[in-house]
């Protein structure tokens, strides 16, 4: 029997490696931008077309490469970052695997232009599916410009698994945020389909956060600074009142590398314990500096998860640092119950002396003099003239009554005939058919026994079908606001709202301004209060970013679900008898009354036999 184990060809091995390295266009953006940072670039430009499916280009002004280095960079396990295994435990760079460019070149058309500062001419290389098509000398500025075109052109199955442009662009923006936040000392810019999405100048960390997430973010930030022998923490956390329903503004950076750490995230949530509403998540932008020898960053293909040597100590330090910052800036509640902050001396008056108030008295004031004048004026008024005017209103009434011969001794009243009830039950009108239990459930009697209805889920189903009908028919009614409502959103949130704008208008929202970071709303749906608009849009953005819809139908369906969840009657809300009956009738007028929009049961029934069994 012949041998069956054989070595894979390089292009096949590269395609397999690409499955771990390159999952979507955002993975290419991450790898290329990290390489540009390692090349000591001061300005990095990202150009994207069709959400990265057609083109991902990164241009930097870093060191550049020689002709030999440019050719070797596309070979597997080629890197300038490590030389021995010991270097893996003292890494201060990003692109150290030596697989990124080789994997990208295996599944795309790649064009590389690079030049070092001391050379007059640069190098241009063109690769298609790991095959080098051309290498020649070219004129190019200092640095490196690498363009990745037609991603997954030779793997149609992988290309078919890519999501819609909206979803893929959102992933690219997320990766751009992670890299840009970790390096505020580098200028970044991003262009999508020819339009500028971000332009981030070189700045400090606070300005970088504000430039990415909007001007309003500045007032939400609380600085966190702590330095110990084990860990150095710097950055910001968001004030509790500005907590969001999504986790889009949660960033951990360890040695300038973005990571995901549920363990440290729990430390932040523990520090905010008692300060947040249910379902809200705090915002944080924290940089952790630790000894590279105490962490292992080579445990995950994307390097977003790392292993700490002493996680318990880091947990305690992070939690204590955040809690200290919240208390230091008067964010945490004061434990002095006797203190009334309304009685605190304002800053403007702390150094001023108290002045004795002066009292001025009018010694000529006589209150009895005015009362005497009033009595004299009232006595002088002729009551006879006024009474004569009242008597004139009834002139002719007596003669008219005598003339017609009618008086008030015989009076007839019109009355409607009494309608007979269906069952001739005198107490039918007073009988109550619905009851509310603990402001959560509605109990209604039925022929076979009793029905128990969850008021929140039932109302979600009613609203969901109504909103879906409005989105489909596109005939929603809107109410105008007396004063337009101004709302602030980040650039990534504006991208999502731009996609949902048309569908939102079909539900009743009216927008008069839709520019960078600012949204002006002039009309809202008739069943939406002005104070709920910001909550609804925030919940909608959170649901869209988490569920990631792919088609227009699913986007409309998700929007209807999100708005129904925000507008539905909450648990704990008391309902009148009429409201209870209306909710029950509206639920059973729906197409699918038995389940909520999220496929959860809306009501259960219990028969009389079930009750009889309980008393056996």
> Strand (E) positions, 311-470?
434-437, 441-446, 449-454
Question: Which has the higher per-residue pLDDT, 378 or 484?
Answer: 484
- Write down the pTM of the prediction: 0.68
Q: CATH assignment of 435-604, given 3.30.1370.100, 3.40.1080.10, 3.90.110.10, 3.90.1510.10?
A: 3.30.1370.100
**Residues paired with 604 in a beta bridge:** 452
Q: What is the pLDDT of residues 321-373, one digit of tens each?
A: 999 998 887 665 545 555 556 666 666 666 777 777 777 777 887 777 766 56
C-beta separation of 262 from 216 below 8 A: no
Amino acid 535: pLDDT:
81
Range with top average pLDDT, 52-61, 91-100, 489-498, 499-508: 52-61
Whole-angstrom distance, CA of residue 112 vs CA of residue 36: 13
Nearest CA to 288 out of 320, 256, 311 is that of: 256
Amino acid 424: pLDDT:
45
Range with top average pLDDT, 27-36, 464-473, 518-527, 557-566: 27-36
Element counts in the chain: helices (H) and strands (E): 18, 22
Whole-angstrom distance, CA of residue 308 vs CA of residue 316: 14
* 479 pLDDT higher than 70: yes
* 254 pLDDT higher than 60: yes
What's the number of CA atoms in the CB half-sphere (13 Å) around residue 442?
31
What secondary structure does DSSP assign to 77-119, as a single string? T--SS-SSGGGGGS---S--SS-HHHHHHHSSEEEEEEE-TT-
Question: Which has the higher per-residue pLDDT, 559 or 17?
Answer: 559
Question: Which has the higher per-residue pLDDT, 321 or 495?
Answer: 321
Whole-angstrom distance, CA of residue 298 vs CA of residue 124: 32
Per-domain residue ranges of the chain: 10-200, 208-328, 435-604
Mapped onto helix, strand or coil, the DSSP state of residue 433 is: coil
**Residues paired with 224 in a beta bridge:** 235
Whole-angstrom distance, CA of residue 406 vs CA of residue 412: 12
Whole-angstrom distance, CA of residue 473 vs CA of residue 455: 27
C-beta separation of 458 from 436 below 8 A: no
Amino acid 445: pLDDT:
86
Write the CB contacts of 107 (distance below 8 Å, at least 6 apart in sequence): 15, 18, 22, 129, 151, 152, 153, 154, 155, 158
Question: At 196, which helix (H) or strand (E)?
Answer: strand 195-200
Question: At 236, which helix (H) or strand (E)?
Answer: strand 232-238
Task: List the Cα angle 107/190/202 in 5-degree steps.
Answer: 125
The residue written with tokens 């008069």 in the block is 512
- Supply the CATH classification number for the domain 208-328: 3.30.230.10
Whole-angstrom distance, CA of residue 609 vs CA of residue 613: 6
Q: What is the pLDDT of residues 520-579, one digit of tens each?
A: 889 888 777 888 888 888 878 877 776 655 544 566 777 788 888 888 888 888 888 888
Phi then psi for residue 200, to 5 deg, are -110, 105
Write the CB contacts of 225 (distance below 8 Å, at least 6 apart in sequence): 233, 234, 321, 325
* 190 pLDDT higher than 70: yes
Amino acid 125: pLDDT:
93
Tokens for 352, please give them.
Answer: 């001023």
Using CA atoms of 32, 33, 38, 43 in order, give the dihedral in degrees to the nearest 10.
Answer: 130
Q: What is the pLDDT of residues 582-610, one digit of tens each?
A: 999 999 999 889 999 888 899 999 888 88
Using CA atoms of 195, 197, 201, 206 in order, give the dihedral in degrees to the nearest 10.
Answer: 170
- Supply the CATH classification number for the domain 10-200: 3.30.565.10
* 428 pLDDT higher than 50: no
Whole-angstrom distance, CA of residue 274 vs CA of residue 32: 42
Nearest CA to 179 out of 397, 31, 21 is that of: 31
Instruction: Share the mean pLDDT of the chain.
Output: 80
Burial of 398 (0-12, 13-18, 19+ CB in 10 A): exposed
What's the number of CA atoms in the CB half-sphere (13 Å) around residue 564?
26
> What is the percent of the chain where pLDDT is above 90?
25
Using CA atoms of 236, 239, 245, 249 in order, give the dihedral in degrees to the nearest 10.
Answer: -10
421 falls in which pLDDT band (50, 70, 90)? very low
Amino acid 540: pLDDT:
81
The residue written with tokens 């619905």 in the block is 434
* 446 pLDDT higher than 50: yes
Mapped onto helix, strand or coil, the DSSP state of residue 31 is: helix
Amino acid 85: pLDDT:
54
C-beta separation of 487 from 459 below 8 A: no
423 falls in which pLDDT band (50, 70, 90)? very low
């Amino acid at each position: 029997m012949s041998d069956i184990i054989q070595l894979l060809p390089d292009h096949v091995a590269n395609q397999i490696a690409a499955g771990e390295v390159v999952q979507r266009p955002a993975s290419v953006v991450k790898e290329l931008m990290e390489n540009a940072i390692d090349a000591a670039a001061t300005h990095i430009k990202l150009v994207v077309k069709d959400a990265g499916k057609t083109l991902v280009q990164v241009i930097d002004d870093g060191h550049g490469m020689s002709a030999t280095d440019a050719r070797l960079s596309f070979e597997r396990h080629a890197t300038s970052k490590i030389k021995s295994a010991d270097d893996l435990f003292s890494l201060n760079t990003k692109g150290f695997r030596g697989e990124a460019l080789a994997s990208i070149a295996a599944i795309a058309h790649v064009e590389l232009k690079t030049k070092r500062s001391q050379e007059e001419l640069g190098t241009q290389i063109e690769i298609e599916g790991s095959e080098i098509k051309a290498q020649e000398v070219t004129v190019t500025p200092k640095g490196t410009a690498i363009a990745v075109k037609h991603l997954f052109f030779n793997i149609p199955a992988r290309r078919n698994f890519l999501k819609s442009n909206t979803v893929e662009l959102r992933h690219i923006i997320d990766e751009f945020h992670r890299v840009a936040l970790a390096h505020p000392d580098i200028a970044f810019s991003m262009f999508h389909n020819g339009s500028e999405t971000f332009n981030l100048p070189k700045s400090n960390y606070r300005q970088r956060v504000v430039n990415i997430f909007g001007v309003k973010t500045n007032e939400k930030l609380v600085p966190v600074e702590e330095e110990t022998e084990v860990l150095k923490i710097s950055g910001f956390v968001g004030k509790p009142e500005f907590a969001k329903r999504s986790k889009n503004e949660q960033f951990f950076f360890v040695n300038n590398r973005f990571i995901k750490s549920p363990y440290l995230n729990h430390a932040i949530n523990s520090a905010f314990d008692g300060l947040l509403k249910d379902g809200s998540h705090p915002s944080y932008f924290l940089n952790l500096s630790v000894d590279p020898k105490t962490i292992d960053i080579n445990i995950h293909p994307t390097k977003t998860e790392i292993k700490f040597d002493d996680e318990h100590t880091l947990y305690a330090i992070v939690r204590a640092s955040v809690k200290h910052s919240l208390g230091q800036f008067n964010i945490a509640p004061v434990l002095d119950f006797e203190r009334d902050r309304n009685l605190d001396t304002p800053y403007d008056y702390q150094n001023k002396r108290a002045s004795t108030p002066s009292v001025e008295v009018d010694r000529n004031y006589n209150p009895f003099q005015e009362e005497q004048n009033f009595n004299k004026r009232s006595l002088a008024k002729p009551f006879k003239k006024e009474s004569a005017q009242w008597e004139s209103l009834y002139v002719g009434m007596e003669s008219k009554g005598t003339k017609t011969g009618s008086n008030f001794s015989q009076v007839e009243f019109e009355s409607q005939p009494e309608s007979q009830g269906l069952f001739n039950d005198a107490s039918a009108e007073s009988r109550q058919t619905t009851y509310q239990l603990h402001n959560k459930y509605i109990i209604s009697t039925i022929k076979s026994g009793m029905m128990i209805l969850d008021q929140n889920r039932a109302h979600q189903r009613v609203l969901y079908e109504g909103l879906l009908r409005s989105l489909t028919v596109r005939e929603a009614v809107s109410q105008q606001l007396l004063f337009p409502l101004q709302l602030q959103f980040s650039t990534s949130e504006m991208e999502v709202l731009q996609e949902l704008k048309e569908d939102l208008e079909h539900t009743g929202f009216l927008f008069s301004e839709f520019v960078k970071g600012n949204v002006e709303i002039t009309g809202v749906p008739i069943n939406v209060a002005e104070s709920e608009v910001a909550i609804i849009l925030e919940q909608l953005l959170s649901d869209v970013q988490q569920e990631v819809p792919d088609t227009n139908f699913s986007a409309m369906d998700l929007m209807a679900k999100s708005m129904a969840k925000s507008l539905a009657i909450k648990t704990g809300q008391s309902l009148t008898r009429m409201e209870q009956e209306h909710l029950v009738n509206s639920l059973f007028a729906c197409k699918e009354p038995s389940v909520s929009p999220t496929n959860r049961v809306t009501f259960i029934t219990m028969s009389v036999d079930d009750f009889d069994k309980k008393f056996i």
